[in-house]
Homo-oligomer: A and B are copies of this chain.
Amino acid sequence: MTDAAVLRDFASLLAIPNVTGEIADLRLNAEEIVRRFEAVGASMEIVELPGAAPVVIGELRCPNPTAVLGVYVHYDGQPVDPSNWTTPPFEPTLKSGDTVLDFPDEGEQVDPEWRIYARGASDDKTPLCVIPEAIASVAHRKVDLVFLFEGEEESGSPNLGRYMEHLQDRLAADAWLLCDGPVHQSRKPQVSFGARGFTGFHLTVYGPSHELHSGHYGNWVPNPALDLARLLATCKDADGNVTIEGFYDDTKPISEADQLAMDALPDIEDQLIADLGFGAAENSEAGYPERLMVPSFNLRGIESAAAGSNARNVIPAEAKASVDIRLAAGDDPVVMLDRVQAHLEAQGYTVLDRDPTPSERRTHRHLAKLEREVGYRAVRIPMESALASVLLDVCHRASGEEVVALPTFGGSVPLYLFEDILGAPVAVLPIANHDNNQHSPDENIRVGNIQYGIELWKTLLTTDFEGIG
């Protein structure tokens, strides 16, 4: 296809709503993905286990393959609140800066700095656009591909392991490529040799059984929003160090090879701080790459009654916070959550895993509900492996640029399943721009990154992967 046609074609895929958990919508996506890969010669199939969103699996063989590469992509996206989007999340919109453009006609030039705005544009439908286009563009392939496209990644991949076990003999590969996430903030191509794990929780603390008038009761009835603020404030110090006992105890130390790789990374911190528009990093001592090598504690959101112009003069009845903990290599998700619970208890809270009864609310001054999202561990593969070398070389040849070799990717992807169930090494091969508003309103993909993705996959399909297994 021409560049113009590729953009139109991708927009038609992005127009299918893909909010995680919306099974009916996700099935429509799966069917469209099957059509697109079958159109370039792959054998595809939708598999749906009870209670799970469907996966799309498939294969594309060639004569005399040098290796079998597994390709993982997820086609679901984060929830959307359209009122926060500049343009509707499922009406893909092409823009140059703030100017909305018509999608170009055949023969018209495209500008790499244009962007397409839509949920899923970068996280993670891009590979589903560029891989079929690369397959169609290449005459002779040197690798076999095995596909696994998931529809529940943004819900924490609760059934990915089950699918892998169920489909194990159809997912045999010498190595897997996890096609997700953004390239380096310098816009240089990137390969990551690991990813952070994920665990998290929702925390609710309780005040009166319903909102009360703050005039009549303020100063006497405890305020759960302030209680929650006080509780969260005990979890991290002013320099961003987590103060939960044992939080860093299991984390794998940074090796010499890791440190060398990090030292070789482009120095982008000052530029990134300026681009992202904040004053200074949370921790004044460790650099950005080092901060990805220790577990994080991030307050994803907090809610109690209403603030700002909608504020009412009330004592809220409850207050909620959601936290995600990005795990570094060595950390166990359940152990981390146990430490969080012990910390809450050490602050004097009675901690339940369910809603309290009215009677429990009446008998405890400090009562919390902790809802666990267990998640999964982090993975890091050796940076000196054959797989690593050939992937770095592919990226270099596709882009003509120096390639960033990242010891760990910041985002969380369930790499451990590939190791544990499919028994294969796995690397992360991203395409999207870093400034893509991933997980947020106005998610977008830069056109230049789509073009890089197509070149990357054309190069990869024609490369000798012998000896990577």
Residue among A226, A232, A363, A412 with max Cβ neighbours from chain B (10 Å): A226
| Cβ–Cβ < 8 Å partners of A316 in chain B | 299-301
Is A468 on the interface with B (CB-CB < 8 A)?
no
Interface contact A308-B294, CB-CB below 8 Å? no
CB-based contact B412/A229 at 8 Å: no
| CB-defined contacts of A308 to chain B, threshold 8 Å | 202, 204, 303, 320, 322
A279 in contact (CB, < 8 A):
yes
In this assembly, does A276 line the interface, its C-beta being within 8 Å of a C-beta of chain B?
yes
Closest residue to A300 on the B side, CB-wise?
B311
Judge whether A214 is part of the interface by a CB distance below 8 angstroms: yes
Binding stretch for chain B, among A103-111, A159-167, A433-441: A433-441
B207, B240, B300, B365: the one within 8 Å of A214 (CB): B300
A361 and B296 form a contact (CB under 8 A): no
Residues 333-371 of chain A, each 1 if its beta carbon lies under 8 Å from chain B, else 0: 000000000000000000000000010011111110000
Tell whether, in the assembled complex, residue B240 and residue A236 are in contact, meaning their CB atoms are under 8 Å apart: no
Q: How far is the CB of A170 from chain B (nearest CB, A)?
A: 29
Do B214 and A324 have beta carbons less than 8 Å apart? yes
Interface string of A263-283 (1 = CB under 8 A from B): 000000000011011111111
- A440–B303 alpha-carbon span in the complex (Å): 16
Docked-complex contact A311 and B281, CB < 8 angstroms: no
**A226 contacts which chain B residues (CB < 8 A)?**
232-233, 235-236, 299
Q: Are A202 and B311 in contact (CB under 8 A)?
A: yes
Interface core residue of A200, A219, A229, A288 (most chain B CB under 10 Å): A219
A:177-230 near B, CB below 8 Å: 181-182, 196, 198, 200, 202, 204, 206-223, 225-226, 228-230
Question: Which residue of chain B is the closest to A315 with respect to CB atoms?
Answer: B298
Please pick, from B210, B215, B437, the residue contacting A210 in the complex, using a CB distance under 8 A. B437
Q: Among the listed B81, B198, B291, B411, which residue makes an inter-chain contact with A213, where contact means beta carbons less than 8 Å apart?
A: B411
Tell me whether A261 is interfacial, beta carbon within 8 Å.
no
* Contact flags A434-469 to B (C-beta < 8 A → 1, else 0): 100111111000000000000000000000000000
- Of the residues B81, B313, B363, contact of A300 by C-beta under 8 Å: B313
Q: Within the assembled complex, what's the spacing in Å between the Cα atoms of A85 and B9?
A: 45
Q: With A217-B410, A277-B361, A308-B320 given, is the CB distance from A298 to B202 under 8 Å?
A: no
Question: Once the chains bind, are B303 and A306 in contact (CB under 8 Å)?
Answer: yes
State how many angstroms separate the Cβ of A433 from the closest Cβ of chain B. 12
Question: Would you call A209 and B277 a contact (CB within 8 A)?
Answer: yes
Interchain CB contact under 8 A, A276 and B310: no
Q: Given the known A-B contacts A279-B361, A279-B367, A283-B220, are A301 and B292 also in contact in the complex, defined by CB atoms under 8 Å?
A: no
14 pairs of residues in contact across A and B, judged by CB atoms under 8 Å: A202-B308, A202-B311, A207-B278, A208-B276, A216-B410, A217-B276, A220-B291, A223-B298, A230-B238, A279-B363, A300-B306, A300-B307, A301-B306, A303-B304
- Chain A residues within 8 Å of B, Cβ to Cβ: 78-79, 81, 181-182, 196, 198, 200, 202, 204, 206-223, 225-226, 228-230, 232-233, 235-236, 238, 240, 273-274, 276-283, 288, 291-292, 294-316, 319-322, 324, 326, 358, 361-367, 409-412, 434, 437-442
Q: A81-B310, A202-B308, A229-B232 are in contact. List 19 more A-B contacts (CB 8 A).
A: A202-B307, A208-B278, A209-B277, A210-B437, A211-B441, A213-B438, A214-B326, A215-B411, A217-B410, A226-B299, A277-B361, A278-B362, A299-B304, A301-B311, A301-B316, A303-B304, A303-B308, A308-B322, A311-B322
